[in-house]
Amino acid sequence: MKPTDRIFCAIDTTDVDAATALAGRLVGHVGGIKLGKEFFTAHGPEGVRKVTACGMPLFLDLKFHDIPNTVAGAIRAALPLNPAVLNVHASGGRAMMEAAAEAAAGADGTLLIGVTILTSLSDEDVAEVGYTGSAAESVVRLAKLAEASGLGGVVCSPREIEAIRAACGPDFKLVVPGIRPTWSATGDQKRIMTPADAIRIGADYIVIGRPITGADDPIDAAKRIADELAGL
């Protein structure tokens, strides 16, 4: 896998023309783009199709979380967009994840993953919403449940990569946000790591948004990150 293939650029905007232009510019410099709830709520499937017309692989980050039948239906509705990565909240439970996995089973090339604990949450935040143990302990517990439910991987922060690898093995895919190059601001992410360090300890894919999209020259920023990964 080329260093650029490991990078998904998070394009968080409601401006469909800006998203489309940036996606086109990033072709060959990152492995794919991530579109989430902000963009999808504003523009829906047609907006997604416009942005991905450049051929970029898509991480459709909608974090489905509902009763099993509803989530299965949402997965089936999303598959015509040909997402390379699609996700559900692992906290939705085993039955929900099994229904999602069954709905996605016929989609060649779509990796279905579970969201464990959001990277914006600290140990204190996790305790406040009722989880027992630390954020890291909750992440590993949810990752094991996701694997047992038939998902192909999880989203996790960089700080939990090694623990999930130990619990779930080398073939379970880890998609890792909370990535910040040393030259960028941390923003609202609390459990962060540099791109090279995350890949070095076992991330399969890294998700990077503002260090690329907020840069004066997004292409140069993407190249700097890829160069860092090429040195591994």
Contact 195, 181 (CB under 8 A): yes
> One of 50, 63, 144, 223 is an active-site residue; which one?
63
The length of the chain is 232
Which class for 219: exposed (0-12), middle (13-18), buried (19 or more C-beta within 10 A)? middle
- Helix axis angle, 37-52 to 16-26, nearest 10°: 60
CA distances to 147, 219, 222 from 167, in Å:
10, 37, 32
Asked if 50 is an active-site residue, the reply is no
Alpha-carbon dihedral of residues 191, 197, 203, 204, nearest 10 degrees?
130
End-to-end C-alpha distance for the chain, whole angstroms: 12
CA distances to 44, 164, 227 from 127, in Å:
34, 20, 38
Catalytic residues: 63
